[in-house]
């Protein structure tokens, strides 16, 4: 008589591993993704070569959150500075949101943000109310002098659909493992 215990044990173990693989594929397809940081635009918060964990579940975004965006078929890591319905500009290295000065504690002391007015980012034709349109965001890098971001006409404001997720954790290098601020 043939003993089926080994075969059933094999399929039971195989089934567990197969289920684990399927769950991992689903998690990394629909929930989170690893995003390498390229370039120095987010220095010192994130450095070139860092790898971050990005939540794809976020559908609403707040000022100062770090997000990944797709612009011109390239993926970027940037910080949300302006929200829908806001008028944003910089004067003398101070961020103004709806004409109220705002301190950016995450910026290094050496960072200088060149002056710009909202109309430099979004023309009256594209933003007739003079504010960021609904479901659009103004994003900047933390290293303002080396960042391609919303100030660049080829980049501009980003739509909610262009935001692929919110950065939630630094996972590499191991000595910088931890939360992102």
Contact (CB, 8 A) for 164 and 57: no
Query: Of 16, 47, 60, 78, which one is the catalytic site residue?
Result: 78
d(CA 130, CA 143): 26
Q: Please, are residues 61 and 79 in contact by the beta-carbon 8 Å criterion?
A: no
- Is 78 catalytic? The answer is yes
Alpha-carbon Rg of the chain, whole angstroms? Answer: 22
- Helix/strand number for the chain, H first, E second: 2, 10
**Distance, CA of 66 to CA of 179 (rounded, Å):** 11
In 31-104, DSSP assigns E strands to: 32-36, 51-55, 66-71, 74-82, 88-91, 94-97, 100-102
Is residue 47 annotated as a catalytic residue, yes or no?
no
Catalytic residue among 41, 147, 150, 170: 41
Catalytic annotation, residues = 41, 78
């Amino acid at each position: 008589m043939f003993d089926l215990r080994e075969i059933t044990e094999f399929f039971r173990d195989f089934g567990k591993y197969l289920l684990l693989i399927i769950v991992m594929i689903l998690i990394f397809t629909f929930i989170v993704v690893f995003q390498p940081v390229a370039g120095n635009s987010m220095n010192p918060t994130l450095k070139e070569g860092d790898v971050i964990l990005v939540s794809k579940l976020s559908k609403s975004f707040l000022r100062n959150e770090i997000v990944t965006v797709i612009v011109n078929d390239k993926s970027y890591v940037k910080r949300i500075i302006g929200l829908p319905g806001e008028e944003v500009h910089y004067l003398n290295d101070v961020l103004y949101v709806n004409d109220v000065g705002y301190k950016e504690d995450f910026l290094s002391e050496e960072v200088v943000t060149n002056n710009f007015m909202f109309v430099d980012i979004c023309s009256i034709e594209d933003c007739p109310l003079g504010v960021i349109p609904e479901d659009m965001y103004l994003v900047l890098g933390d290293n303002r002098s080396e960042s391609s971001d919303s100030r660049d006409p080829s980049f501009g404001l980003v739509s909610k659909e262009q935001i692929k997720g919110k950065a939630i954790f630094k996972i590499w290098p191991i000595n910088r493992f931890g939360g992102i601020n």
